[in-house]
Structure 1
């Protein structure tokens, strides 16, 4: 099945940009009409060179279309496009339509809070969702100012990109915005709890659902403090003031991404308002996300990429600056360490897949193709390369070039070449070699130590050869003490005399490569790792080990030995990019019998020996819960947690989900737990627990979510997929392996965009680790009739499975 809408071709975008200049949008939204749809009246004023074009529109129905004073037939609308025969000079289009509220995190997303039954709305227009909210020329280089008017229920607060007023109950009027790309437009509306502040003449705001108002109030001082610190530093670095009026940070429910940088009204996923206790890692993640979105106000919002394949410029720049600002001016001066745990392998794994692509210049033919490259390469690799460039050029040249770029293209669009020219004007010299080697060539070099030959070897990827030089620090352990030296690699082999028991290449991420420790180092680390106090070095060691495991050079048994020797409680947040999740999903399924019990014992020991109430004790308890095979032990934690740790909603559901996976609870107990505390977290974790039960009914529930027979919002969709495929339940879910491949194509008819690709990954039968499953995945990924996003995720899942199978063959458990 194909999408009901056409994806914008780059050639079409170029033609439309050459034809049109958009003067302004006037958008009137009626959010009070009903719960499933809203009214949208868009007036677009633009000039044209004269000739045919089209406007993008994805309505439930059209009430009226008027173009230059004449009524157009709504039946002209075809697959999201309304053809227009423009006249030379001024044109005016008015579209009166009814639009859908969505529950997939795109367009205008509407959700109901289970805690109190209140409804909340937010806009997410990224990539191609804006036409489901208002008629528009949906491409990044047709910027225009927006004037937005909203009618909403009388008890709602409405926030948009520009400052607004509430002249009468239920009516909201917003000032004319600065020129915006369509994908930056947003409206946040509902009975949100709002907190106000100001800094340096900038009005500041925070908002979240009423049911988590207490948590927002508790975090408000930290959030405002980081915002103010970041503004001061960004103003210092760029010398250009924030130009979008108010700066509101809205924490919204069921948000797909971490955040979205809408000028004047940044939206964040509301689990970043902490309703349960979290580790420092999660607080760093929130701080760096906040600074990342603030950096976007300059790189992305003042100057926006001309086309989607330069989107890496937005993300790589914001990733680098956001992490730097967090580390330099907030209380989280260890931010780069947490980034190493959370982001490095995300980018390296993506860069080693068959789907790897250059950081820049991908030549995306349409918006859908560009979306596929919005990944760890765009963020983590691009950020790493910009960090190297900044270190090479020095801050004076690096920021002078950025300022020149912002000034020349203020409120407009630009390309990578424009930015490179700005750096060269600022004194960077010729950057063509750097661009060719690092930005336009895909794949990482692999760098290994050959201890016997006293050399370090660099091997570029065979599919993407490049002659890159690397300069980085090397950590060497001699008699248990660590020291560092600097190594420059400019050819296939570089002499390196080994004078220690362990050698860790580039632990501080000075360069970008797959770094593989030698066997002697791996063996020695089992003794050395527990004593490593340098947090950056510990992160670098774990990243070397993860890379080695990924390329099949370190066994799952070795990883388990290292975990048991020194449980990695520094990085156990629930994300597939973190060490704890990697251990559970990738390592333990390949490890020898008894490994989960060994890891559990090590985690329990850490719970008992770590200071009571510390974040590392909390992380260790999480690991102990995830690896427990004893229902009595788990129920003991429901009755009494270790001293210093409270049984909050997060820990309670961790225990219940684990009991469900072990078959030590039932649907009735889980339903009662949800009824006792019906909040957003409970709703999602209840779904995860229900489908984790080892019963046919549980798996049928999960499958009904996959097929769309049981419609749920995006967070529950993810929980259903990841909870369905549990280790130890392979026989129960075996019938669903073939059904996944048979029925996946039909899901194109029930979901689209972001969640279509996500569901492909979430429901992939990862526990069916066999050559036959791998063959089916590869075959379906090659089916050209499927949307590119589905094929891409399938291919990536197949690559992960192939690597696990290779590891199983190389290191039989």
Structure 2
């Protein structure tokens, strides 16, 4: 036994030799502030004679019974793993143990509200922390059903992945809740939330006619600030959108959303029992950027019910399949199903800028990362897995066609429901619906790191007529991959005080230079915007004439997404020392006052401060800083 850090090789071997049928987990939450009781019974099959271990991070193990034989806990348990030798074809294991509450947001977290002294519990199991609550084969491809029974104070609200049953009340003021078994799911998306939470309930009708109970939970001392009706409204919009686009009804029996204290992340997609940071319970007025971010997060976790919970990656190297897809799908749903129609603008200026920044650091990695063990997973919840992955999925949608992309996703859900997959399983379905071979595309986009730079190159005659036009592509020396891009080019001209797009062409760009014959013979516009509509993942450049027009007139472009692409382009070229810092300052000070998108304002003002303090010529830095401050 080798501690908490499960390796991929160990997981592969274990999955080849065992298959888990069911867990019954009985939790006693009445043992004080330090520990709780956990009795786990696991039914599983195995290769006869196989020796392995079950994960169980415990404070004490009272008994271990394997196929009716009592094992010595001192001999088989080291506090992290329990050794299981000479297995039968069919096995029943019962572990009686105690485990510790945490206050780090791992396992079963215990919080005491300083306002009223009430105790609140919730679980956080991703990546490998369900083993901190019960004995479990802790890897995503050993799916099983989970049946939880919990004994806790009678006055508490108790919820898990399945609908909450009527409790059996006891004379000492406690009660026991016995939940129905879950569908086959991975251990890391099981959940328990318990305490005197304030709850608002509602329901909706799923696409298959089922009534799905809904709940919004928060601690009592925050309940006056919880705008549950708005959360329900966004949830209903998301349900309708995803069920329609995925052509697959919501796969679980209820949907609770719980805003929990001291949460160490933004949210977690536990099946039917999603937890969120309390930062999303607004106790005062917040910016539109924060309000929109909450909507995207709500829909991100809802998208996970299909991508991650219904169909789960086999091992953590395909974590991007979960997170990139949820990032992409939630932005799409926010833009098309809610009042936040400019979600792709927010995505471009915040998520993509995060991705571009991380993709240019020495720590960058391919979207499909090499994850040899659990420790390696932790460093991959980053801008590559989330933001670059989501960007590349948007690019893939443009590459194969949006309708074909969603049709392939629907087929993927139907074929692999309640199972586990790898990257190739999704690509097979997308190839079938689109007719495009994605083998090379996958290698170039998902299996290599780095970001390309695209810039227009053109010549004109004396009358301003374009005589040649191409897109030039470069790659950094450390990651010299030239990639195919599906992208658009927009021509913008000043007209009646507006900078208006009056021509657009969409094409495949590949190689170091791609001729664009469709633009030859047209009059050169005032501003040329490559990657218009932000289909591609690449840094883009403005030609010098377009930059001058942008500095003077960016505010006159009506489309927020187009504006965000110009903001991002000039920021990138300033960061790369191709554009003078003073030009970026001119762009911002001349155009930011009328910017409509809250996240754009928030992001660009941060970039402005960095440019003024660090990027401009030291000889003029003080004068520029005073100018920005004024």
- Output the TM-score relative to the length of structure 1: 0.69
2:205 is the counterpart of 1:194: no
- Contact 2:246–2:410, Cα closer than 8 Å, also in 1: yes
Partner of 2:233: 225
Q: Is residue 2:290 matched to residue 1:282?
A: yes
Matches of 2:37 and 2:605, distance apart in 1: 46
Kindly indicate whether the alpha-carbon contact (under 8 Å) linking 1:139 and 1:181 is maintained by their aligned counterparts in 2: yes
By percentage of residues, which structure has more strand? 2
1:59 paired residue number: 58
SS at match of 2:370: coil
Could you tell me whether the CA contact under 8 Å between 1:57 and 1:82 is conserved in 2?
yes
Equivalent pair of 1:281/1:570 in contact (CA under 8 Å): no
Q: Residue 178 of structure 1 is aligned with which of 178, 183, 206?
A: 183
Summarize deviations over 1:115-150 as a string: whole Å, max 9, x none: 333332211100122211111110000011111112
| Structure-1 separation of matches of 2:627 and 2:185 | 55
Moved more, 177-186 or 277-286: 277-286
Distance in 2, Cα, partners of 1:60 & 1:582 = 49
* 1:532 equivalent in structure 2: 557
Counterpart-to-counterpart distance in 2, 1:365 and 1:155: 45
Worse overlay, 16-25 or 272-281? 272-281
Which residue pairs with 1:465 in the alignment?
480
**Counterparts in 2 of 1:529 and 1:109: CA distance versus 1, 3 Å:** same
Q: SS of 1:464's equivalent? A: coil
Q: Is the 8 A contact 1:141 1:307 kept in 2?
A: yes
Distance 1:548 1:114, change over 3 A: farther
Offset from partner CA, 1:316-356 (integer Å, 9 cap, x none) = 22222211122112222222122222211111122222222
Following TM superposition, by how much is the alpha carbon of 1:113 offset from its aligned partner in structure 2, in angstroms?
A: 2.8
Cα 1:579/1:110, change in 2 over 3 Å: farther
> Which one of 255, 260, 264 corresponds to residue 256 of structure 1?
264
Aligned-residue offset at 1:297 = 0.9
Alignment partner, residue 485 of structure 1: 504
The one of 354, 359, 377 aligned to 1:351:
359
1:167 is aligned to 168
Q: Give the whole-Å Cα distance in 2 for the aligned partners of 1:478 and 1:426.
A: 38
3-state secondary structure, aligned to 1:152: strand
Shift of 1:590: 4.3
* Runs (5+) with no aligned partner, structure 2: 206-210, 460-467
Q: Deviations over 1:456-509 (max 9, x none)?
A: 421123333334232323344444633253264333234577934543332421
- Is the partner of 1:198 in helix, strand or coil? strand
Cross-structure match for 1:150: 150
Distance in 1 between the 2:360 and 2:558 partners?
31
Three-state SS of the structure 2 residue aligned to 1:170 is strand
Q: Structure 1 599/99 Cα, relative in aligned 2: closer, same or farther at 3 Å?
A: farther
1:354-410: CA deviations, max 9, x gaps? 2222222x3321122233223222222222222232233334432332222222222
List per-residue Cα deviations over 1:175-206 (Å, max 9, x = no partner): 11111211101111121110100100111111
1:44 to 42, 45, 63: 42
Partner of 2:446: 439
Q: Mark the CA change 1:471 to 1:587 in structure 2 (over 3 Å): closer, same or farther.
A: farther
Q: How far has the Cα of 1:589 moved from its partner?
A: 4.5
Where do 5+ consecutive residues of structure 1 fail to align?
602-813
Cα deviation code 1:659-699 (max 9, x no counterpart) = xxxxxxxxxxxxxxxxxxxxxxxxxxxxxxxxxxxxxxxxx
Structure 1 residues 306 and 485, CA, compared in 2 at 3 Å: closer, same or farther? same
Question: Match of 1:70?
Answer: 70
CA deviation after TM superposition for structure 1 residue 310, in Å: 0.9
Check the 8 A contact 1:507/1:539 in 2, yes or no. no
Q: Which is helix-richer, 1 or 2?
A: 1
- Classify 1:594/1:170 alpha carbon distance in 2 versus 1 (closer, same or farther; 3 Å): farther
Give the conservation status (yes or no) of the 8 Å contact 2:17–2:46: yes
Whole-angstrom distance in 1 between the partners of 2:148 and 2:563: 50
Tell me the residue number matched to 1:209.
219
Q: Which residue does the alignment assign to 1:326?
A: 334
Which residue of the other structure, out of 583, 589, 601, is the alignment partner of 1:558?
583
Give the CA RMSD over aligned residues: 2.6
Cα shift at 1:454: 6.2
- Equivalent residue of 1:93, what SS? strand
Which residue, 18, 29, 42 being the options, matches 2:16? Answer: 18
Structure 2 counterpart SS, 1:397:
helix
* Partners of 2:553 and 2:591 within 8 A in 1: no
Q: How far off is 1:93 after superposition? A: 2.1
1:415, distance to aligned residue in structure 2 (A): 1.0
Q: Separation in 1 of the partners of 2:83 and 2:304?
A: 34
Q: Following the alignment from structure 2 to structure 1, what is the Cα–Cα distance between the partners of residues 575 and 78?
A: 46
SS in 2 for 1:206: strand
User: Aligned residue for 1:111?
Assistant: 111
Q: How does 1:629-708 map to 2 (within 5 A)?
A: none
Equivalent-residue separation in structure 2 for 1:240 and 1:456 (angstroms): 40
Deviation at 1:597, TM superposition (A): 4.4
The counterpart of 1:33, out of the listed 31, 34, 56, is 31
Q: 1:550 to 1:101 in 2, by over 3 A?
A: farther
Are 1:341 and 1:571, in contact at CA under 8 Å, matched by a contact in 2? Answer: no
Query: Do the aligned residues in 1 keep the contact of 2:564 with 2:600 (CA within 8 Å)?
Result: no
Q: Distance in 1 between matches of 2:609 and 2:27?
A: 46
CA contact (8 A) 2:482 2:512 kept: no
Contact 2:491 2:527 in 1 (8 A): yes
Could you tell me which residue of structure 2 aligns to residue 139 of structure 1? 139
TM-score, scaled to structure 2: 0.88
Do the aligned partners of 1:475 and 1:482 also contact (CA within 8 Å) in 2? no
Q: Would the aligned equivalents of 1:571 and 1:580 in 2 still touch at CA under 8 Å?
A: no
Distance in 2 between residues matched to 1:113 and 1:507, nearest whole Å = 50
- Mapped to 2, the partners of 1:589 and 1:188 lie a distance apart of 47
**Equivalent-residue separation in structure 2 for 1:303 and 1:384 (angstroms):** 21
Question: How many residue pairs end up in the alignment?
Answer: 594
**Contact 1:303-1:411 within 8 A present in 2 as well:** yes
